[in-house]
Amino acid sequence: MQKQMGRAKITIKWIPRDTSGNMTFMKRKKGLKKKVEELSILCGVEVCMVCFGPQMDQQTASDHPHVWPGKSKALEIVERYRSLSKEEQENKKLDNSSFLEQRIKKLKVELSIKRKENRELEMESVYPWDSCLNFFTDEQLKDLVDYIDIRLETVYDRINFLSRHEREIYNGVESDMVGFCSF
């Protein structure tokens, strides 16, 4: 019967660290480094890898560490990762969701500011001016009301816009709102 030359199929499970196990580690680590390097070059991405050598046995601590593509670069990449916010670290869709989340926050703040402004405008338009109405001619009052209406319209438009987009963003609809938010 012929011996099994060449690559035999193996199942992926723990190989005790005898000679062959160690051989496997060495070979595969080498192959892995090559693949990491290829990915890095092909796609121009920052990749790093940290790997501790296999344990001799259950008592002995594991072997020395292997890092790719080198200590400083690896730590730099990890530091870049660590410096990200929890959301940025966790969410796969960083470029979308994080951006939108920040946008939502900004819009909420703007919205509350505008609502407050609006309340103030409404207050001003109703109460304090009441006592001053006698100082104006009818013509002036008409102009004033027109002016107020226009102002209110603008304010309501703004409220509507913000509300609408707040809803759209919550629904995950990315409208082409970017660049349209200048009042």
Partner DNA sequence: GGCGCTATTTATAAGTC
Partner DNA sequence: TGACTTATAAATAGCGC
**What does 9 interact with, of DNA, a copy of itself, none (CB < 5 to 8 A by kind)?**
DNA
Helix axes 138-170, 99-130, angle to 10 degrees: 160
Q: Before 54, cis peptide (omega within 30)?
A: no
Least distance (Å) between residue 47 CB and DNA: 13
Q: Which span (42-50, 102-110, 142-150, 157-165) binds a copy of itself, by CB under 8 A? A: 42-50
Count CB-CB contacts under 10 A for residue 169.
17
Backbone phi and psi for residue 84, each to the nearest 5 degrees, phi listed first: -75, 155
Query: Exactly one of 5, 8, 18, 88 binds a copy of itself (CB under 8 A); which one?
Result: 88
**What does 90 interact with, of DNA, a copy of itself, none (CB < 5 to 8 A by kind)?**
a copy of itself
Least distance (Å) between residue 19 CB and DNA: 6
Query: Exactly one of 80, 106, 142, 164 binds a copy of itself (CB under 8 A); which one?
Result: 80
d(CA 104, CA 101): 5
Contact flag: residue 92 with a copy of itself (CB under 8 A): yes
Decide: 20 and 8 in contact? Cβ < 8 Å.
no
* CA dist list (Å): 1 to 5, 69, 128, 160: 12, 45, 106, 82
The residues, ordered by sequence, that sit 6+ positions from 87 with a Cβ below 8 Å of its Cβ are: 94, 97, 98, 101
Least distance (Å) between residue 68 CB and DNA: 14
Contact flag: residue 169 with a copy of itself (CB under 8 A): no
Query: Which residues in this chain contact a copy of itself in the complex, by CB under 8 A?
Result: 12-15, 17, 21, 24-25, 28-29, 31-32, 35-39, 41-55, 62-67, 71, 75, 77-78, 80-82, 84, 88-95, 98
